[in-house]
Amino acid sequence: MSSEPTKLPIAAKETKSGHVHTCHSRFEPGPAVVLERSPLVPNLQLLKVQAPAVAAKIQPGQFIMIRTDEDGERIPLTVADWNRDEGWVSCVFMEVGTTTYKLGKLEAGDELATFVGPLGKALEIENWGTVICAGGCYGIACIYPIARALKEKGNRVISLVEGRSSFLLYWIERLESVSDQVLISTKDRSIGGTGYCQGMATEVFERESVQRVIAEGCTFMMYQMAEATRPLGIHTVVSLNPVMIDGTGMCGACRVLVGGETKFACVDGPDFDAHKVDWDLLLSRRQAYLGPETESSEK
Ligand SMILES: Cc1cc2nc3c(=O)[nH]c(=O)nc-3n(C[C@H](O)[C@H](O)[C@H](O)COP(=O)(O)OP(=O)(O)OC[C@H]3O[C@@H](n4cnc5c(N)ncnc54)[C@H](O)[C@@H]3O)c2cc1C
Ligand code: FES
């Protein structure tokens, strides 16, 4: 991983509810304001936020912590796009529980209680040769800035996209604009075969040499990509998504085991060498929160 996370300055910010709150935050000169919130496909939405300080520094692979209101929880979202000149950042989120449901109700002009970033380390981007970027679900959006940066560095970029059906896919043209090839797999065969990213990657490995694989999506998909590349020794990077609370290395909630060492995904990652991740521990820790999460969603 290339860059070190910088020290967090303390910022105070007034929200539209009139509260002034203080948080460890990259300094935002004004409140983070929603520019757009719109559905992309069923269950996945785009959120575009005016946040010039975040937009000025954000790099592929980094994330933000967002909170809709003073009583809400902070949740991490990976950046999907940004414009430094216009000062906005966008994310794609899936409605899975209380906070993402609240995000799905935001309107243009709403002010967010918290929008903190860039957090985490920037993904290492070099000219490696041929690189596979694999995305599923919200990870399809997350690989877009990564593929763009890899292409700018002169790599041959092969983007792999998976979904249950074609109507759940989005940003394919965007990915095509920054990739040499985009391959698609859907469970119902509405586009491509059923091999998902793991199957498509295996086909690519049979026909050409690949120097690096980067995967973003659900934990199981990233695990499968790790298993597909492990016997071939292809360096594989995955973006881990354990539960996070503060996102700044203070609470320990996001700890993961990588290469036998405890790491905090929020400050040491979220990107790690897929072949060193303890996947059993990661999957079991994610399941530990299922009860309270279901209870919160039902409320
Ligand atoms: C670094 C990182 C980047 C992420 N990027 C995105 C993204 O770009 N788009 C997207 O849709 N989702 C992303 N996620 C997952 C997203 O943060 C969770 O879906 C969100 O926190 C769920 O909150 P909730 O209150 O809506 O649902 P909950 O009811 O709290 O939980 C529903 C599901 O989300 C997971 N989850 C809950 N809280 C957290 C948390 N604080 N951190 C991580 N996972 C959690 C749970 O394991 C559960 O599977 C990312 C997670 C991490 C760690
Ligand atoms: S989220 Fe608290 S240490 Fe990472």
pLDDT tens digits in sequence order for the chain, 299 residues long: 334 443 333 333 334 433 334 344 444 556 899 999 999 999 899 999 999 999 999 999 999 999 999 989 999 999 999 999 999 999 999 999 999 999 999 999 999 999 999 999 999 999 999 999 999 999 999 999 999 999 999 999 999 999 999 999 999 999 999 999 999 999 999 998 888 999 999 999 999 999 999 999 999 999 999 999 999 999 999 999 999 999 999 999 999 999 999 999 999 999 999 999 999 999 887 666 656 555 655 55
Q: Find the residues whose C-beta lies inside 6 A of ligand 1.
A: 63, 73, 75-78, 91-94, 96-100, 138, 142, 241-244, 270, 286, 289, 293, 296-297
Instruction: Determine contact, residues 192/166, Cβ cutoff 8 Å.
Output: no
**Closest residue CA from atom 40 of ligand 1:** 243
Q: Which atom of ligand 2 is nearest to the CA of 264?
A: 4
Q: Which domains does the chain have, with CATH numbers?
A: 21-119 (2.40.30.10), 130-287 (3.40.50.80)
Cβ of 217 closer than 6 Å to ligand 2, yes or no, is no
* Any ligand 2 atom below 6 A from CB of 76: no
Protein residue closest via CA to atom 13 of ligand 1: 77
Ligand 1 nearest-atom number relative to CA 139: 8
Phi, psi of 33 (to 5 degrees): -115, 135
CA atoms within 13 A on the CB side of 281: 14
